[in-house]
Amino acid sequence: MSDLLAIESISVAYGKRLALDGVSLTVAAGEIVTLLGANGSGKSTTLRTISGLVRPARGRVVFDGRDITRAAPDAIVAGGVAHVPEGREIFPQFTVYENLLTGGFTTSPAAVRDGIERAFALFPVLRGRARQRAGTLSGGEQQMLAIGRALMTNPRLLVLDEATEGLAPVIRQEIWQRLTILKGLGLSMLIIDKELEALSAFADHHYVIEKGEVVWSGSTDALRRDTDFMSELLAV
């Protein structure tokens, strides 16, 4: 498989604090990759760098053969990368339908209509909540909305920051099921989450980041062999 995304020796600093130090990773077309690590290790900064929300001091981000390191966030979205941020960041006073519309700002009216229908097909509960204010949804429904909004541009790469954090077990399972559907459709994903069991059943390759550096990478089989080590390394 060819690389859809390549992060090459990225370093990011917040003031004098180095948040990422030479991070490199790849996501192949159709591949599901996880980025694992304890809180504060640099995972979210990595995703924000991919999405153009953070500018690296060194290194570059290449998507589909194009250097997007200095591209504007809206251009990155239009180019095929969608980001589901930690905390969802939906608009609580907007309806479900209006939130979905905000996800289609880079596309045509026809593409917006198609995107809304895809979101409702993937998460049927949202169809029944279309005119409901997003702030009144349950946490699980809000996460479904955040994913549905990210899919409005029909992206080639979906990056998810804490995909199931804070959700009830039954809702986490439902989210993983929906992501499995997207995997079957060929969507590439880069996922941050702490659910090692779910990730080992779902993803193809894994990276562990610690203090801003990648300290381990390997296949799902390797992750399963090192479960005890991983659990200790990923402890909050």
Which residue ranges make up each domain of the chain?
Answer: 1-80+190-236
Write down the H helix ranges in 93-156: 96-102, 109-122, 124-128, 139-150
Spatial contact of 219 and 208, defined as CB atoms under 8 Å apart: no
Which candidate, 214, 218, 199, 220, places its Cα nearest to that of 59? 214
Report d(CA 108, CA 150) in Å as an integer. Answer: 15
Angle at 132 between CA 86 and CA 115, to 5 degrees: 65
pLDDT value, residue 104: 85
Tell if the pTM clears 0.85, that is, is over it: yes
Homologous superfamily of domain range 1-80+190-236:
P-loop containing nucleotide triphosphate hydrolases (3.40.50.300)
Strand arrangement of the beta sheet that strand 205-210 belongs to: 81-84, 157-161, 188-192, 32-36, 205-210, 213-219
pLDDT value, residue 147: 96
Q: Who's near 128: CB < 8 A, 6+ residues apart?
A: none
pLDDT value, residue 224: 83
Q: What is the pLDDT along the chain (236 residues), one digit of tens a residue?
A: 589 999 999 999 998 899 999 999 999 999 999 999 988 999 999 999 999 999 999 999 999 999 999 999 999 999 999 999 988 889 999 999 999 999 888 788 888 999 999 999 999 999 999 999 999 999 999 999 999 999 998 999 999 999 898 899 999 999 999 999 999 999 999 999 988 889 988 899 999 999 999 999 999 998 888 767 676 766 65
What residue type is 71 in one-letter code? A
pLDDT value, residue 226: 76
